[in-house]
A and B are shown apart, each in its own frame.
Chain A
């Protein structure tokens, strides 16, 4: 049995005159024990999908199941089996760390003690602050507490909606380590993120854009589908370089990517020499050009333009 199945889900917002399609015929499956990433920019429909799967929102069309239960008809069973961490920090700011945890344990009819082993590794970091009000915690600590609260009733499927947005790089790294260890405990995890670098930490990812799924595969396979050569180019004048490269006759695509510009050529057979000549002719200095390994972000940009 799949942990999550989504079949042709459609969700529209707005009045009859003006509708926005948040999810347009979305289908995907998440296997049990899988760490599945939903990757897409803001407004792609990630949160709508999560809210439908967590039984908070009704879809306008299509079917979905979570742990074998229908999200519309059997929502009660689902609510006992899932953990949900919304994108916005939503715990009681005026209750302490421990009180928050105890509250969420109680509303799920369980106790902290019963499931302590599951959250132990995370909670140990919070323990020194357990009497502190949740509102007074740092961003990273709040996020850890939210994860604990979402886990306290030992859910079968965990939904994390942009858990790392607004969290510093170190905490983000720690957070993904925690997800890996949770995965080992057999919990299926659905996580959404706008960060492309996090995609590579998932077992499989769905790339979503404007409510449509563009690709579902493991990060490695998605990258493998990128068959063209990817060049990274830099020079002394990066902005002029970008404009010049975009006007170059053999350029298929060129965009800024960190310290370099990523360049894809229409005809890979020509190689880099004509490009170098073109740039030297335009009197660019300190030109560096080399083959680069495409990553998920390159694939995403590639898929977006198709």
Chain B
């Protein structure tokens, strides 16, 4: 016990003397949480629009003013022909082309039917997808307006129609920040858990101090605990800072119980520290540890459900997310913060992460040898 407390004292002393670690624990989360949520925004705005109007009628004018007034599009190009508009797409002046055919208004009035061409630059998938969808929406709306203008609806609608109105539960304004901030907080904890732990131990390998520890009678468990506890505490400090920032800057107040977030974070950090420890038992140099750590991080992040929904991943990828503690924590974090889920809702997540923590740590401890 005395040995362990002294090991901890030494670890903290070293941390406080290393400004880089202090910075990454205290300042990094602040900066990331203040900048990242604004950039990581799924809402697509500023879609560059090119219009080819062959009709030049009052309807085409009405449509153009409607689409530009929506706020999602910027009219950057007004081309006389479709080919010219394609040139605008090639030179990146436009993302989306809408071609209004000749006799658009005439056909609409006479034949009650007309068509329009919508062409999207799909190089940027997200932008194309959403831009196209917005445009289609606006066209549908426009269509509705014309029908209202022309038809006098009977008291009872002759054709049954289903009108869809949606309401966003748990995040009524569909605020992306509410959704991203808890997720980003998880990635921060992940970085501290894996990188700081593995680099710290590998550093002892590189400097040769681990040899001195290995020849001492200190037990493997004491040594490993002495390494894990400081970073476990630092992870919880980062979480606290992150939750404070979420509250102060984004007015995100967890709907659920904060204690539950901490409970989950404690177990989650154990799993990540285990991964960090595992990396350090295999890596001989800090360079190796960094590269392996980065690879693991990338896999965890991309298959963690922060940017993309796990439900839309292929089956094999879903299986990987089952051993990804980050995926569990991101989900739980959103559940507790946005939805106010209780212990009963997250107990399987907790159990899964606890299992992963046991697996990673056992593996790491078995692989750590005081002699070769």
Residue numbers of A with Cβ under 8 A of B are: 54-58, 75-76, 79-80, 82, 84, 86, 88-95, 99, 102-104, 106-109, 149
Contacts and interface: CB of A to CB of B under 8 A. Distances in A.
Given A90-B207, A92-B14, A94-B17, A54 B215 contact: yes
B371 A103 contact: no
Nearest to A75: B371
Contact of A109 (B3, B18, B212, B215): B3
Given A58-B372, A80-B217, A92 B209 contact: yes
Given A90-B208, A103-B10, 20 more contacts: A55-B215, A55-B371, A56-B372, A57-B372, A58-B372, A75-B371, A86-B208, A90-B209, A91-B209, A91-B212, A93-B207, A94-B14, A94-B18, A99-B10, A104-B216, A106-B6, A107-B6, A107-B7, A107-B216, A107-B218
Interface residues of B, number: 23
Interface of B: 2-3, 6-7, 10, 13-14, 17-18, 207-209, 211-218, 370-372
A90 B212 contact: yes
Contact of A79 (B3, B18, B211, B217): B217
A133 to B, nearest CB: 8
A137 to B, nearest CB: 15
13 contacts: A80-B217, A82-B215, A86-B208, A86-B211, A86-B212, A89-B208, A90-B208, A91-B209, A106-B3, A107-B6, A107-B7, A109-B2, A109-B3
Contact of A107 (B3, B17, B370): B3
Q: Is the interface of B mostly helix, strand, loop or mixed?
A: helix
Nearest to B16: A94
Contacts of A109: 2-3, 217
B3 A84 contact: no
Contacts of B207: 90, 92-93
B211 A103 contact: no
A108 B372 CA distance: 21
A107 B371 contact: no
B217 A76 contact: yes
A93 B208 CA distance: 11
A102 B7 CA distance: 11
Nearest to B212: A90
A103 B14 CA distance: 12
B22 to A, nearest CB: 13
Contacts of A58: 371-372
B2 A57 contact: no
Contacts of A86: 208, 211-212
Contacts of A80: 217
Contacts of B2: 106, 109
Nearest to B18: A94
Contacts of A88: 208
A111 to B, nearest CB: 10
Contacts of B3: 106-107, 109
Q: Is the interface of A mostly helix, strand, loop or mixed?
A: loop
Nearest to A55: B371
A89 B2 CA distance: 27
Contacts of B217: 76, 79-80, 107-109
Q: Which 10 A-B pairs have the closest CB atoms?
A: A90-B208, A106-B6, A107-B216, A79-B217, A88-B208, A84-B215, A107-B218, A80-B217, A94-B17, A90-B209
A89 B371 CA distance: 19
Contacts of B18: 94
Contact of A57 (B208, B209, B213, B371): B371
B212 A104 contact: yes
Contacts of A94: 14, 17-18
Nearest to B211: A86
A75 B211 CA distance: 15
A54 B372 CA distance: 12
A80 to B, nearest CB: 5
With a 10 A CB-CB cut-off, give which of B207, B209, B215 has the most chain A CB atoms: B215
Contact of A56 (B7, B17, B371): B371
A81 to B, nearest CB: 9
A58 B369 CA distance: 11
A148 B33 CA distance: 47
A99 B9 CA distance: 10
A106 B1 CA distance: 11
A86 B214 CA distance: 12
A178 B218 CA distance: 28
Nearest to A135: B207
Nearest to B218: A107
A56 B216 contact: no
Contacts of B215: 54-56, 79, 82, 84
A56 B211 contact: yes
Nearest to B207: A90
A99 B13 contact: yes
A75 B369 CA distance: 13
Nearest to A79: B217
Contacts of A75: 371
A108 B10 contact: no
Nearest to A91: B209
Contacts of B13: 95, 99
A248 B359 CA distance: 73
Contacts of B10: 92, 95, 99, 103
